[in-house]
Structure 1
Amino acid sequence: THFQRVIPDDGPATQNPSGVKRIIFCTGKIYYEVMRERKTRNMEDSVAITRIEQLSPFPFDLVKAETEKYPNADLVWCQEEHKNQGYYDYVKPRMRTTINRAKPV
């Protein structure tokens, strides 16, 4: 095993990337709750979940590669904390830089 800065989705969503409507980026244990909810709602084909394991320095290259895999998808940052807490304020400007401000986060 080795450390991965970003862990991409390896589920059914990867089989048809153009059919993915949303990429959920997250970090930490919230991943398991989001994954369970995606399965419960039968959204495994239309939602990709990508874990960012290293937030600093931010993995611009890997996040960009993930967003380019799913050209029709909206980007979402998911965290347990309120919007004004947690990593949102740190991640949002970096995500927008990564995607050249082409999509909202």
Structure 2
Amino acid sequence: MIDVSRMPTFRRGVCVTASDVKPDDMYPHPTDLDGIAFAKSACEFCSVATECLRDALALPTSKDQAGVRGGTTAEERKAMRKRNRRLTREAAKQAADAAAA
């Protein structure tokens, strides 16, 4: 588990500041649908959710922590990375094709 309270940006996060959200709540078991829904709902009202998601996506999949970050699960972030890599390859190919024409 990542200790976001040590990161200045994330000290304002709902997962750190809300009295009804405990740090462990942000790390539900992947099959705990209610726990995942609760963690995602906390992210909905978080002022640093975008930064949290950006930080999580910057990690390689192998280093990505389990849990909900920026309103997404580790599996959702893995799918986002895969989609981003595919789109980047497609854009590079289109640019190369346009330059060759």
Q: Which has the higher helix share?
A: 2
Q: Same fold (TM over 0.5)?
A: no
Normalised by the size of structure 1, how large is the TM-score?
0.34
Normalised by the size of structure 2, how large is the TM-score?
0.35
